[in-house]
Chains A and B, each alone.
Chain A
Amino acid sequence: NAGVTQTPKFQVLKTGQSMTLQCAQDMNHNSMYWYRQDPGMGLRLIYYSASEGTTDKGEVPNGYNVSRLNKREFSLRLESAAPSQTSVYFCASSGTVSTDTQYFGPGTRLTVL
């Protein structure tokens, strides 16, 4: 049982390049999330998908797009990377009920030069 997986683990981009972060979960969860973690800022929600076919903006959506490809997969795309997007990105998933635990992937460390 892999839980939540993310690829890649590390990535270095140049300003203006694009890339997609992949996330998959095998727990049959309805809800999936993308966060970024920056020093002193805690976790900030970028986008989430409450169920297959829906996506909503979180606290810091600018510069990002998402796709809920199916129930298992939720990708995050940076169309034109900027140094301000240097961060650690975490994907998470949870069930539908608000008392459900959120499960996190191992993270992607992204550096934009």
Chain B
Amino acid sequence: GDSVTQMEGPVTLSEEAFLTINCTYTATGYPSLFWYVQYPGEGLQLLLKATKADDKGSNKGFEATYRKETTSFHLEKGSVQVSDSAVYFCALIPKGGNQFYFGTGTSLTVIP
């Protein structure tokens, strides 16, 4: 079945460090892929998305590229800030489907 696997956390980085959070997926066909972010005490917010192979989603300095050959959608940021501390979720929805499938989330803490 369809599923998302993302790297276990928690992740702790110093400010201005490079961030990578790995995400791989299992799905038939060509799903749409998403990264959501959850700040403490809040609901999830869309960070970025990609709807077809080789697309790159980007927002607020974060990027992720839809790699069909490796079934991956890794999240990257070149220089993290304290304000990026949050939980990050990778998700997919199958093409033509109704259900979203979420990873378990990766907690990121950025220290000054």
Chain A interface residues toward B at CB < 8 A: 4, 31, 33, 35, 40-43, 45, 48, 50, 56, 58, 90, 92, 94, 98-99, 101-107
Q: Are A42 and B89 in contact (CB under 8 A)?
A: yes
Tell me the complex Cα distance, A92–B91, Å.
14
What are 9 of the A-B contact pairs (CB < 8 Å)? A4-B43, A35-B102, A43-B102, A98-B32, A99-B49, A101-B49, A102-B46, A103-B46, A104-B43
Q: Are B100 and A99 in contact (CB under 8 A)?
A: no
Interface of B, secondary structure class, is loop
A99-B51, A101-B49 in contact; A41/B104 too (CB < 8 A)?
yes
Q: Are B98 and A48 in contact (CB under 8 A)?
A: yes
List of A residues within 8 angstroms of B49 by Cβ: 99, 101
Interface string of B82-112 (1 = CB under 8 A from A): 0000000101011111111011110000000
Which of A31, A42, A94, A105: most chain B Cβ within 10 A?
A42
